[in-house]
Every structure is written in structure tokens, then in C-alpha cells.
Amino acid sequence: MSELQVRDLNVWYGAAQALFDVSLTVGAGELVVLQGLNGAGKSTLLQSILGLSQRHTGVIRYQNEDISDWAPHRRARAGLGFVAEDRRLFGGLTVQENLLIAARGDVAGNTARVLALFPALERMLQRRASQMSGGEQQMLAIARTLMTSPKLLLLDEPCEGIAPLLVESIRDALLALRAEGMPMLVAEQNRILADRADRALTLVSGRVAG
């Protein structure tokens, strides 16, 4: 069974069309990587799946339901988890507060799980997010999304601009999640995960290449 299916998606910003007849599938437990240069449409595609595009045509199905007309919060509640490129952390709050503010479902279980996945976070639970490095912030952003008990993860450039050692930690954490059966769609330019993906597709000027 496919978890997520996008069929013939077209998206516009005002009069400018950003995506053209894009189709893709993420199967149960699959890691699918979305490649493409700056401006190719990767973020636009992820945001459309989340229900954040203004004008679009096409169909988005999640767990065999047509969610094309669902509001973003309904998609999130149904299990779509998103880690944005800009991370959207609360800089003035601590790591622990950032985790708890998003928590839904089994809070204790989720906390134990994310700290096992990112042991570095356990050592900085009382640190403000604004006082962390970019890579540490990215770990926290992924961990915070996991606190919402998502059933499918959408990640926008999770390893972009991050020190190599932390890139390795993040990649390993994402591969561990995949080994647990978490389906994921990851937009990336830097081919950190592409070699380990079940499938990789490339967007060129808003179209799936090949």
C-alpha cells in the first residue's frame, strides 16, 4: 500500500506556475529523495502536500484517502510531519521546552525515543535553541516534529549547511527512523541520503525529470 501519492500536481504563485504535472509515490516504510537545484520546486511540492499552496490542481492521497482539500492542521493531525528548511524553532525556549511545546500522543515515550535518536540533545535539554549550532538546531527540529507522533515525515534540506560530523548524526538518525518503518520524503541538493533511498527523483524547473 502506498502511504502518499501525488498525481498530476500543478501549483501556481499568482500567475507563475511553479509545478507542472508532478506525480510521485511514497510507499510504506520507503525513503524517497527529491532532488533538484535551487528554485526547481522542491519546497513548493512539500508545502503543497502539507496543504500550504494557494492555487493548485491535481490529487494528493494519504493512506488511501484523497486529502487534496484538507486544511493543513487536518493533514498534520492525520500524521503528516514536516521539518522546514528554516527549522522554525523557538529561539528563546530551551531544548526541552521546544520538545514539549509540540508534543502530542505518548509524551514520555516520544521523549525517550527522540533522545535515543539524538543523544546530543539529552546533554543540552536546558540550553536555549538560539544558543545551539545549526546542526544541533536541525536535530532539535527533527526531534520536535517526532514529538507530534507523525506517521510520515517530510523534510526540507535536513543536512544543508551543517558541519560534517553532525550531518552524519542526522543521516544516521533518519536511516534509523526508516529502519523502524517511518516513510519519508526528503528534499535535498547535497546527496547525503540519495544513495540510501528507495527511490530518488529530480525536479527540473517544476517538472519531474526523466
Instruction: Summarize as ranges the residues that interact with ligand ATP (CB under 6 A).
Output: 13, 16, 18, 36, 38-44
Distance of closest approach, residue 99 Cβ to ligand ATP, in angstroms: 26
Buried/exposed 19-46: b ≥16 CB within 10 Å, e otherwise:
beebebbbeeebbbbbbbeeebbbbbbb
Distance of closest approach, residue 104 Cβ to ligand ATP, in angstroms: 27
Distance of closest approach, residue 123 Cβ to ligand ATP, in angstroms: 31
Instruction: Using the minimum distance from each CB to ligand ATP, give the nearer residue, 38 or 126.
Output: 38
Instruction: Using the minimum distance from each CB to ligand ATP, give the nearer residue, 1 or 16.
Output: 16
Judge contact between 31 and 197, C-beta under 8 A: yes
CA distance 68 to 182: 22
Instruction: Using the minimum distance from each CB to ligand ATP, give the nearer residue, 18 or 60.
Output: 18
Distance of closest approach, residue 102 Cβ to ligand ATP, in angstroms: 23
Judge contact between 150 and 103, C-beta under 8 A: no
CB atoms within 10 A of CB 151: 14
- Per DSSP bridges, beta strands 31-35 and 199-204 are parallel
Closest-CA residue to 23 (of 54, 43, 1, 49): 49
SS3 label, residue 66: strand
Distance of closest approach, residue 187 Cβ to ligand ATP, in angstroms: 6
Distance of closest approach, residue 93 Cβ to ligand ATP, in angstroms: 26
Judge contact between 80 and 62, C-beta under 8 A: yes
